[in-house]
Structure 1
Amino acid sequence: MTKTPDSVVRSFIDQHQADFLRDLSDWLSIPSVSADPGRSGDVRRSAEWLVAKLGETGFPVAEVWETDGLPAVFAEWPSGDAGAPTVLVYGHHDVQPAAKEDGWDTEPFTPVTIGNRLYARGAADDKGQVFFHTLGLRAHLAAGGRTAPAVNLKLLIEGEEESGSPNFGALIRRESERLAADVVVVSDTGMWGADTPTVCTGMRGIVDCQVDLFGPDSDIHSGSFGGAVPNPATAAAELAAELHDADRRVAVPGFYDGVVELTDRERELFARLPFDEAQWLRVAKSHGVQGEAGYTVLERVWARPTAEVNGVWGGYTGPGRKTIVPAEAHLKLSFRLVTGQDVHKIEQLVRNWVADRLPAGIRHEIVFNAHTRPCLTPLDHPALQSTVRAMGRAFEKEILFTREGGSGPAADLRDVLGAPVLFLGISVPSDGWHSVNEKVELDLLRKGVEATAYLWGDLAENFRPAEAAGLAAAADDH
């Protein structure tokens, strides 16, 4: 019987899976906790381990990249095929802190397989999802009888993602020429569920700030002066209360200008996901849904811009009474943004909104933190379609779509490199990212290996960067 490319891929994975899992477990045993200064040597050891393993995989270039903080890893393997697209894979090798006394059933840095699950810190987030690219690439080469991948393949594996990526933007700007790519594949994400494989198409951006309000030069007697001078705590409460209108829309004038609306097709695809509101509320540790009128829960958290009051404080909060008009009060506000919103414009709109609503006699200061732009890849983008086909071949099911409500370094890659971002991940919500007993489902890990084995050939055959550039430009224009 003639072997098909898919059967060659699966056979190759079968033959090498034991060695793959043994290597992954070796890597998982390195406690590369970027948030712990005492573990900085382990983060470096993790980077050096990966460089060595990528060299064994066949990458002719694999090296540690220094930053002002902890090291990243870069690798490159040119295709040799004329006109082959260039793909950059992003992930991270640092992990969250973990200790058995936190409530783990096993030692978090002693990987253990129980049934069909591999338990260890980083099993899903993100070492497992980085490492599946190594076996997937080898299976791709075997299936095609190739000595180099069908695409020009690059990897950038960050060492500080779990610490907020403080040096990532500077790194990719410094190395933008070597990182230049036609498409970026992010393997630091997940799927809806094991029985509902999905591909993420975008992430929201974020602008956040602290608003400091100042009234009297010191706390003053509320009996002698209250009702006759402005109270900064009242002003803070009023700002918080006025942030949304009656339909839960953000009340900052101009906030929705340029927002790219969901298409009917996207809404229909979101609606096909098996969403259970009661279960979602349990995960959210909440007791009711609320949000912008006219949109579902998933549409609100994935595809609509939002504003949140992250904190309000000021005045006396100790036991008993202290009847004062406080000297100052404070708010922390964050705004999640979608494609079509400009972070700098939103910042200025928020500044204007605050200034216009404060009474005379209240002085204020606003400090904004580093922002992140939203990123979105259109459903009809040919690189996204390659990802969907590769996932479909691996899972032998229809692939649906999600977005991410949060924000992350993917947008930095999109901004600096000017390439569309694809999300290829196999983790599921029960994997316990950042929690105790983090694990990865071995069946799904294998599907990730298989999907990457198919992806490079599909991109080489069907993705033409020059043609796709028009789609990306159109999305940016929105």
Structure 2
Amino acid sequence: TGFTTTEVWQTPGAPAVFAEWRSDDPEAPTVLVYGHHDVQPAAREDGWDSEPFEPVVREGRLYARGAADDKGQVFFHTLGVRAHLAATGRTAPAVNLKLLIEGEEESGSPHFRALVEEHAERLAADAVIVSDTGMWSADTPTVCTGMRGLAECEIRLYGPDQDIHSGSFGGAVPNPATAAAHLVAALHDEHARVAVPGFYDGIVELTDRERRLFAELPFAEEQWLRTAKSYATHGEAGYTTLERIWARPTAEVNGIGGGYQGPGSKTIIPSTAMVKLSFRLVAGQDPDHIEKAVRAWAAEQVPAGIRHEIVFGAATRPCLTPLDHPALQSVVRGMGRAFEAPVRFTREGGSGPAADLQEVLGAPVLFLGISVPSDGWHAPNEKVELDLLLKGVETSAYLWGDLGEHWHDAP
């Protein structure tokens, strides 16, 4: 593409690619674009209509594994910087442009944070653009402003040293399966709020403006329920469905087990039980604080005579960019010019490595994605709409000039 620096950075797993192209303007801001080059496995026999790793164009769509997630959305930046230079007559971008394309996103980015920490000086930026997200729909261009964090754990409960007879001992010794059920029942109050003391400490509440902007999206709850394969909505009282999945913290039971699981009955008091929990976190929440709060809460719930241990996995911090941030305004203007339509705002209910970039580099994270829900990430016949891919190119081309022009206008 013309980047003056291109390097492969090794990790204990798959390598990452780094590229840099400095502006000829000494006052230019520095922007880092994040994406990933790895994809989910795919084979023709999974239900593909064509070979998944041989791109095919049909009816204005490009079908291939990674077409949307995430090779296509990395690719449009390479075309975008070319268009930016061609349209402006520049020989270097209007910003100091860096790309970091990792190779392990689909396996949880196990080595990504260490990679960012190792190369933090090389990756230093005023803003980060993450192009591994999507839009609301083809005719409703949107910019994501935040992504929830994640903490998850397994609570293991131990009672008798072995399974024992429920007739001989039932009602006289504590049952770990009953303790597991009690833990699950105590996780939420009657308003579906998380009942762990301290869980909501420090969270950034939704503003009236953000709630109004969410409400402007063409959200059809019945259609959403069909996608969710569910028959009713449920969640924290006082919030809409979109607010619950984008901007409110949650606690979910991912698994619960213990005792006899086979056919028929087996009248025992089991010796062990377990509960798997996950917590989606919003801006202002700290995974370390959540871990301490959950440990203290569980210790209060578990009855005497039941030993327990809690194992937490790796956590992901939430990230959120204020609506008035100058870099976000540049993304909105660039997308608005490309799509010739008003740009609305969303958040992501899931989690990803964006928070590591924000935390280690101390830079705001913006999301620029052009994929739509029908693209079928991780599914057979994954595709990208070619007209939207080109809109991504155009947005990228406008973005660098806008950032270069307006970055220093911000108060």
Matching of residues 78-93 of structure 1 within 5 Å: 78-93=22-37
Query: Which is further off, 100-109 or 208-217?
Result: 100-109
Matching of residues 194-209 of structure 1 within 5 Å: 194-209=138-153
CA distance in 2, matches of 1:449, 1:339: 31
Q: Do structure 1's residue 221 and structure 2's residue 162 form an aligned pair?
A: no
Query: Which is further off, 390-399 or 77-86?
Result: 77-86
Matching of residues 140-151 of structure 1 within 5 Å: 140-151=84-95
CA distance in 1, matches of 2:200, 2:111: 31
Find 1:251's aligned residue among 169, 179, 195.
Answer: 195
Which letter maps to 2:130?
Answer: V
What's the CA shift for 1:278?
Answer: 1.1
Matching of residues 131-210 of structure 1 within 5 Å: 131-210=75-154
Identify the residue that residue 254 of structure 2 maps to in structure 1. Answer: 310
Which letter maps to 2:37?
Answer: H
SS in 1 for 2:371: coil
Find 2:402's aligned residue among 458, 463, 468.
Answer: 458
Unaligned runs of 5+ in 1: 1-56, 469-478
CA distance in 2, matches of 1:95, 1:413: 21
Matching of residues 254-333 of structure 1 within 5 Å: 254-333=198-277
Give CA deviations for 1:238-278 in whole Å, capped at 9, x if unaligned: 10111010000000011111111111110111001110111
CA distance in 2, matches of 1:443, 1:403: 24
CA distance in 1, matches of 2:275, 2:3: 50
SS in 2 for 1:463: helix
Q: TM-score, normalized by length of structure 2?
A: 0.99
What's the CA shift for 1:136?
Answer: 0.7
Give CA deviations for 1:161-216 in whole Å, capped at 9, x if unaligned: 11111111110111111001110000000000001000000000011100000011
Identify the residue that residue 432 of structure 1 maps to in structure 2. Answer: 376
CA distance in 1, matches of 2:202, 2:128: 25
Query: Which is further off, 279-288 or 404-413?
Result: 279-288
SS in 2 for 1:94: coil
Which letter maps to 1:322?
Answer: K
Identify the residue that residue 3 of structure 1 maps to in structure 2. Answer: none
Matching of residues 56-75 of structure 1 within 5 Å: 57-75=1-19
Matching of residues 1-80 of structure 1 within 5 Å: 57-80=1-24
Which letter maps to 2:223?
Answer: Q
Q: Do structure 1's residue 357 and structure 2's residue 301 form an aligned pair?
A: yes
In angstroms, what is the RMSD of aligned CA positions? 0.9
SS in 2 for 1:240: helix
CA distance in 2, matches of 1:100, 1:342: 43
Q: TM-score, normalized by length of structure 1?
A: 0.85
SS in 1 for 2:347: strand
CA distance in 1, matches of 2:378, 2:292: 34
Q: Do structure 1's residue 416 and structure 2's residue 399 form an aligned pair?
A: no
Identify the residue that residue 107 of structure 1 maps to in structure 2. Answer: 51
Looking at both structures, which has the greater relative contact order when contacts are Cα pairs under 8 Å and sequence separation is at least 6? 2
Identify the residue that residue 319 of structure 2 maps to in structure 1. Answer: 375
Give CA deviations for 1:371-407 in whole Å, capped at 9, x if unaligned: 0100000001110000000000000000000000000
What's the CA shift for 1:80?
Answer: 1.8
Which letter maps to 2:402?
Answer: D
SS in 1 for 2:378: coil
Unaligned runs of 5+ in 2: none
Identify the residue that residue 15 of structure 1 maps to in structure 2. Answer: none
What's the CA shift for 1:65?
Answer: 0.7
CA distance in 1, matches of 2:394, 2:192: 44
Give CA deviations for 1:276-326 in whole Å, capped at 9, x if unaligned: 111111111111100000100000000000000000001000111110000
What's the CA shift for 1:464?
Answer: 3.3
Give CA deviations for 1:353-383 in whole Å, capped at 9, x if unaligned: 0000111000000010010100000001110
Which letter maps to 1:147?
Answer: T
Identity of aligned residues (%): 76
Find 1:211's aligned residue among 155, 166, 187.
Answer: 155
CA distance in 2, matches of 1:82, 1:164: 37
SS in 2 for 1:316: coil
Q: Do structure 1's residue 407 and structure 2's residue 407 form an aligned pair?
A: no
Matching of residues 340-355 of structure 1 within 5 Å: 340-355=284-299
Which letter maps to 2:376?
Answer: G
Q: Do structure 1's residue 98 and structure 2's residue 42 form an aligned pair?
A: yes
CA distance in 2, matches of 1:282, 1:434: 19
Q: Do structure 1's residue 130 and structure 2's residue 74 form an aligned pair?
A: yes
Which letter maps to 2:115?
Answer: L
Which letter maps to 2:91?
Answer: T
